[in-house]
Structure 1
Amino acid sequence: MRNLKHLLLFLLFSPPMLLLAQSPKTYTISGTIKDSASGETLPGATVRLLELPGKGVSTNAYGFYSLTASEGTYTVLTSYTGYATDTSKIQLSKNTLANIHLNLGQGQLQEVKITSSSSRTSNIMISPAGLQKLSVKDIKNIPVLLGEKDVLKTIQLLPGIVSAGDGNAGFFVRGGGSDQNLILLDEATVYNPSHVLGFFSVFNSDAIKDISVYKGGMPASYGGRLSSVEDVQMNDGNSQKFGVSGGLGLIASRLTVEAPLFDHKGSFIVSARRSYADLFTGFASDTTLKHSKLYFYDVNLKANYQINDNNRIFLSGYFGKDVMSFRNNFGLNYGNATGTLRWNHIFSSKLFSNTSLIYSKYNYNVAIENNFDNIKINSSITDYNLKQDFNYYLNSSNKLSFGFESIFHVTQPGTAISTASSSYNDIFLQKKHAQETALYLSNEWNATDKLKITYGVRLSNLTVLGPGTFYTYDKSGNKSDSTYYRSGKVVKNYFTPEPRFAANYQLNENNAVKLSYDRNVQNIHLLNNSTSLSPTNIYLPSSNNIKPEIADQVALGFYRTFHNHGYEFSTEVYYKNLQNQIDYKNGAQLTGNENIEADLLFGSGRAYGWETYIKKKSGKFTGWVSYTLSRTETKIAGINNGNYYPATQDQTHHLSLVGMYQVGNKWTFSANFVYNTGNAVTWPSGKFAVNGAPVYTYGDRNSSRMPAYNRLDVGATLLAKKTAKYESSWNFSIYNIYGASNPYAIIFQTDPKDASKTQVSQTTLFKMVPAVTYNFKF
C-alpha cells in the first residue's frame, strides 16, 4: 500500500516537476473574465496566447484564469460562446493582473467566429471527452411542454441522454439509472429536479448562467454518482445596473429582479416562478376538480460581494415546493431546499481557492383522509457539506486541481402516523446517518502542442454511523442477528479509490481523438420500482448490507470541426462495467418496511453504446442531430436464473433532431423531433383465479417492451419590441404537434364480459399541447 502511494505521487508530480526544472524564467498573466454589460463572470471562457499554439486555458467555475510564459510580447485572445472575441497586446515582463470584459456579439447570443489558426487548434483541444455544454440561446429557443423553457428537457436532446418518458422527472445517461445522475445547483445536490411529477424541472432558465454535463471523463473534483454530472450555476446578478425580466404563460409565470450592491462591488438576483392552475379549478363544474389544488412555486436567491481583488463571497439558495390535493381526502407536497455559502480567495497569480458550506434537503409529505382514519406519511434526506477546492497553475503546461469534501447525510426513510384512529399501528423507520468524505488530486498536462492529458485520483470513504439497530439477514431474508450502535459509533467503513484519466490528441487543426477512463462510486441509493423519479422516492445510504455501487467506464471518441468551424461532429463509443447493482425480490415492499434491506438483491451490470452528434453553430439555420445505439444489462442471482437481462432503463435507439431558423430580425422558428425505443418492462404472462379474483403470473424480469416513443414539437419566437431600455417577445409552441399517442402506462384488467380474457389499455398523458408565453426585460 505504501509503495502504491509513492507510485501515485510520482505519476502525478513527475511530469510537471520535470518541466519546471527545464523551464526558463517565466511570468504569469492572470485575472477574471466577465460580461461587460452585467459584470457576470464567464466560466469556461477560453484564453490563449497566440504566439504559443496549443497553450490555452479555460476559466474555472468563477471566471478565473492563469497563464504562464517566458518574457516577451504576446497577443491575448479571449473568447466565449455568444460574445465578440477580445484581442489585446501585452508586454510580459512581470506577473500581470489582466481582468477582461467581453461584449455580446452582434445579435443576442450570436456564435463567435474565430479565424486564427492557433485559436482553432486550442478550441478542439481544451474541451474534454464526455463534456457537453449548453448555451442559454439553445435552451430558450427549443419548444417544450406548456412553453416553460427547461434545462433538463433540453439536455435530453443530446446523445447518450434519454428521457424516462412523459410525466417522468427521470432521465438516463449512458445506461445509468435515474438516481445515478449528480444534479448540482451552485454545488448543492438536487435530489428531485422536477415539478408537477416531471412536467417541469426545478431550474428557472432566467436564473441560470451555465450548465455543464459530464457523461464520462469526470474531473476528480466530482463524485457520488455513477453515470453523469449536471453542474448548473446560477446567475450572480447584474453588478452594473438594475434590471427586471420575466414571462407570463398560460400555466405559469416568472419574475426576476437583479441589481448592483455596495457601489457596484456586489450584486444580487431574485428569481421566482409560480404556476396557477389552482386559480381556475375553483370555477370547474366537476366537484372533485373544484375542490382540488395543483400548483408549484420556486425561488432562486443569490448575492455576492467583491471584498477586494483577491476575495469574493457568494450566498445563494433555492426553495421550491409542489402542492397537490384532491377533495380534501388526499394531499401530497414535496420540494427541495438548498443553500450555498462560498468564499473565493486568490493566494497568488497561480493559486485560486474556493471554500463552500452547502446545505441540501428533499422531503415529501402525504396526507390520506377517509371515514375511518387520517394518515400522514413523510420521508426526507438532508446533507450538510464542507468543500474545499484549489486550482494551482504550475506553469503553461500544468494545472493542478486538488481539495476535499465532507458530507454528513441524514435520511429519514419514512414515518406513517395516524391522527384519528388508535387501531392503526404507527410506523417510525429509524433515521440513517453516514459521513461521506473524499480527497482528490489531478493534473491537467499539456504534454505537447497536440497532446493533452488529465490524470488524477479521488479517494472516497463512507462511514456508516449510529445511532440505530443494524440487522443481518440469512439467504431467505430472515433476521439472523442485530446490533445496536450508539450515536456516532462507526458501523462500517467503505474506502474506494477512484482513478480518473483523459487524453486529447489533435490530429490536425480540425480533428482530434479523445480517450477517457473513470471510476465512480455511489453511496446514496434510490429505492424505487418504477423507471421515473417519483416524489415518494426513498433514499438510503450504504450500510452493513448495502455496498457502494461502482462503475468503471472507458470511452473513445473522434471529434471534427469543419466549414470554418461552423459545424461540429463527434462520434464516441463507451463501455461501462457496474458492480453492486440493486434490484428487488419479487413482491418486494418498498414503503413502510423496516426490513427493506432483506428484500434487496445485488449483482453486476454492463452498459455499452455508440453515440454520434453533428451540430451547425452559425448562420440563420442552426441545430443538431444526435443518435445513440446502446445496451444496458443486469445480472443478479435470484432473477432470471442468474442470466443477464435488460435493465429497466435499457433503450436501444435514441434519435433527436433539433433545428432553429432565424427570419429577419423579428422571427425565430424552431422544431425538435424525438424517437426512443420503449423501456424494458415485465408484463403478465398468464393468470388464474383465486376465490373469483384474478391473480396474474409473470415471466422473466424485463422481458417485454413499452411501445416506442416519438414526438415532434414546433415553436416560434417573435421579437415584438427592442429598445435601449425595454425588450419584449412572444413565444408560441405546440408540443407533440401530430398528436402521437405515447404510452404513460399499460393497464391489464379482466374483461367484464369474459373473466377468462384480459383487456389491455394504454394511458397517454399528452396529445397536442399549444402554449403562448409573453417575455419581457427592462
Structure 2
Amino acid sequence: MFIFLIFHVIGWSQKYTISGYVRDKKSGEDLPSANVYVEELKKGTSTNNYGFFSLTLPKGNYTIKVSFIGYGDVIKKVILDKDIKINFVLSETVIQASEITVTGERSNKNVESIEMSSYKLPVETIKEIPSFMGEVDVLKSIQLLPGVQSSGEGNSGFYVRGGGPDQNLILLDNAIVYNAGHLFGFFSIFNADAIKDVNLIKGGAPANYGGRLSSVLDISMKEGNNQTYHVDGGIGVISSRLTVQVPIKKDTSSFLISGRRTYIDVLTKPFIKGKMKGSGYYFYDLNAKINYRFSENNRLFLSGYFGRDVFSFKNSEDGFGAKFPWGNTTLTARWNHVFNQKLFQNLTATFSNYHFIFDAEQSDFEFKLYSGVKDYAISLDYTYLPSVLHTLKFGAQYTFHDFEPGSATARIGNTNFDTGKIIHYYANDMALYANDEFDISEKLKFSIGIRPTLFQHIGSFTRYQLDDKRQAKDTIQYKPFENIATYSNIEPRIS
C-alpha cells in the first residue's frame, strides 16, 4: 500500500507541457487573447499577441476547450503523458434564425485581468460602432469607453487619468506614433481595414511598457491572409480605401497592402475659385506587412506605415503661396522564436519618424520651417510559462532619439537668412524590465514588476555659457555620443 501511494504521488508530480498556436481557419492569421481552457481543472490561459499558448499540467487525460469571440469553440481530448505540441484552428460563426432573442452581459475582462482597466477591442467590434461620414475611427471608438475623455469636439486626441494626449503611449506594431491624427485631429491615422486588434490599458500597465504617464494604446496590424487571395475596399463620402491580401506560400507566408486617400481637394476644387484657386487639402495612408513562417518555432514579420497630410494655400492676387505637409512613418522588423514549450522570445527593431514642414513664398520672399523627431529602437522580450498559474516576462529595451525642434531658412531678394547650424538633440533611452504574474486562487491574481530606466543626453552638441547680459561668453563642444547628462529611475509595478 505504501509503495502504491509513492508511485501515485510520483505520477501526479510528473508534469508535461501542451503548447501551440490558435489560428483563424479562413485567413491563417494567429488569434491573440484566445481562451485555452482545461475543463477538468477549471483553469486555463490565453494566447499571447502572436497566438502562442503554453500549459504545464500534471500527467493525465484532459479536455481542452479553445474559444474566441466571433468564432466557434474547438474541443479536443488530450492524453498528456509527454510534452506535446498542438495547434487549434477556429472558424468564424454565422447564426441564421427566423427569430433571435438577444441578451447582454457585461464583460468582466477589464476587472478580471491583472492589467486593471484593460480593454481588448477586435477591429470587427469597432466597425460596428456608428461612424462619422462612414469613416471608421479607432481613436474615436475608444473615447466611448469609461474613463476616456475626448480632447475636443471632433478631435481624435484623448485624455486618460487626467493626463494630456501626449502622455498616451500609442504603438503601431511596437513602433511609437507621435501624431495619431489627420486633419488637425479630426480623423485618426489608423485604417481599420489594416488593423487586427486594439488593446487599451488605462491603469496597471505591466513593466514592459514605459515612457508615458497616462495609458497605453497598443495596435496590431493584420498579418495577411495566407490561405487565399482577398481584396476589399470601399468608397466613402470623403475618402476611398483598398486592401489586398496575398498568400505568398500557403500556410507559410503572406503579404498585405492597404491604402486610403481622401478626395477633399477634389470635392472642394469647384468651389475654390478666383484668387484662392489652387488651395486645397488631402491626406493619405499606406500600410504594408509581410510575414514568413520558417517553422513552428521561427517566424519573421516586416511591417510599415506611411501617412501624410498636405495642406496648400494660394492667393494669386498678392502672389502668396504656402504648403504644410506633415506625417508619420513607422517600420517594424520582428522575429518570434520558441526555444521550448515554456520559453517564448520576441526580438523587435523599429523606426519611427514624425515631421512637420511649413513652406511659404511670395514674389521675392521665401521661408521654410522644419521640425521633427526620429526614433531607432530595439527590444528583446521573453515570456516564460512555468505553469498554468504562473507567467514571467522579462527583457531589455533601447531607443535612440533624434530630436530636431526646429530649423528655419529664409530669402528676401538676393539675401539669404538662416538660423545657423541645424540643432539636433540626441539621447539614449534604455530600460530593463521583469514582470511576474501568478494566480493565488481562482479569484485572486497578483502581478509584481520592476523597470529600471536610464536616459542620457548625448553629443554631438554645443552648449553656450551666457553672461549676465545673456550674451554667449564661452562654448562647450561635446563629441558624438559623449555623455552630457544622465537621468535614472526605478519604476515598481504592482497590481
Same fold? TM cut 0.5: yes
2:195 aligned with 1:194, yes or no?
Answer: no
Distance apart, 1:331 and its partner CA: 1.0
Specify which of 462, 468, 471 is matched with residue 461 of structure 2: 468
In the other structure, the counterpart of 2:8 is none
Distance apart, 1:227 and its partner CA: 0.7
Question: Hey, what's the Cα distance between the residues in 1 that align with 2:109 and 2:197?
Answer: 21
Distance apart, 1:81 and its partner CA: 1.6
Question: Hey, what's the Cα distance between the residues in 2 that align with 1:158 and 1:276?
Answer: 31
In the other structure, the counterpart of 1:76 is 64
The one-letter code sitting in structure 2 at the alignment partner of 1:456 is G
2:88 aligned with 1:63, yes or no?
Answer: no
In the other structure, the counterpart of 1:48 is 37
Distance apart, 1:474 and its partner CA: 10
Question: Hey, what's the Cα distance between the residues in 1 that align with 2:49 and 2:415?
Answer: 56
Matches within 5 A, 1:270-669: 270-284=257-271, 286-327=273-314, 329-421=321-413, 425-428=417-420, 429-470=422-463, 483-502=476-495
Question: Hey, what's the Cα distance between the residues in 1 that align with 2:206 and 2:68?
Answer: 21
Aligned-partner SS, 2:190: coil
Distance apart, 1:320 and its partner CA: 0.6
Contact 2:17–2:83 (8 Å) recurs in 1: yes
Question: Hey, what's the Cα distance between the residues in 1 that align with 2:468 and 2:62?
Answer: 70
1:561-590 per-residue CA deviation (whole Å, 9 max, x = no partner) reads xxxxxxxxxxxxxxxxxxxxxxxxxxxxxx
Distance apart, 1:264 and its partner CA: 2.9
In the other structure, the counterpart of 1:13 is none
CA change 1:438–1:196 in 2 (3 A) is same
CA change 1:161–1:275 in 2 (3 A) is same
Q: Which has the higher contact order (CA 8 A, sep 6+)?
A: 1
In the other structure, the counterpart of 2:121 is 134
The one-letter code sitting in structure 2 at the alignment partner of 1:104 is E
Contact 2:28–2:251 (8 Å) recurs in 1: no
Contact 1:58–1:126 (8 Å) recurs in 2: no
Aligned-partner SS, 2:447: strand
Question: Hey, what's the Cα distance between the residues in 1 that align with 2:14 and 2:108?
Answer: 26
Aligned-partner SS, 2:133: helix
Question: Hey, what's the Cα distance between the residues in 2 that align with 1:298 and 1:480?
Answer: 49
Aligned-partner SS, 1:153: helix
Specify which of 211, 219, 222 is matched with residue 232 of structure 1: 219
Distance apart, 1:261 and its partner CA: 1.4
1:336-372 per-residue CA deviation (whole Å, 9 max, x = no partner) reads 1111111110000001101111111001111122245
Contact 2:114–2:447 (8 Å) recurs in 1: no
2:83 aligned with 1:90, yes or no?
Answer: no
Distance apart, 1:446 and its partner CA: 1.1
Q: What runs of 5+ residues in structure 2 fail to find an aligned partner?
A: 1-11, 315-319
CA change 1:187–1:334 in 2 (3 A) is same
In the other structure, the counterpart of 1:183 is 170
Contact 1:167–1:197 (8 Å) recurs in 2: no
Aligned-partner SS, 2:146: coil
C-alpha RMSD of matched pairs (Å)? 2.7
2:239 aligned with 1:247, yes or no?
Answer: no
Question: Hey, what's the Cα distance between the residues in 2 that align with 1:178 and 1:480?
Answer: 40
Question: Hey, what's the Cα distance between the residues in 1 that align with 2:269 and 2:75?
Answer: 60
In the other structure, the counterpart of 1:646 is none
Question: Hey, what's the Cα distance between the residues in 1 that align with 2:78 and 2:479?
Answer: 63
Contact 1:156–1:163 (8 Å) recurs in 2: yes
2:247 aligned with 1:260, yes or no?
Answer: yes
Aligned-partner SS, 2:124: helix
The one-letter code sitting in structure 2 at the alignment partner of 1:77 is K
2:158 aligned with 1:171, yes or no?
Answer: yes
Matches within 5 A, 1:82-121: 82-107=70-95
Question: Hey, what's the Cα distance between the residues in 1 that align with 2:200 and 2:140?
Answer: 13
Percent of aligned pairs with the same amino acid: 44
In the other structure, the counterpart of 2:15 is 26
Contact 1:288–1:326 (8 Å) recurs in 2: no
Question: Hey, what's the Cα distance between the residues in 2 that align with 1:335 and 1:88?
Answer: 48
Contact 1:281–1:290 (8 Å) recurs in 2: no
The one-letter code sitting in structure 1 at the alignment partner of 2:87 is N
Query: TM-score scaled by structure 2?
Result: 0.90
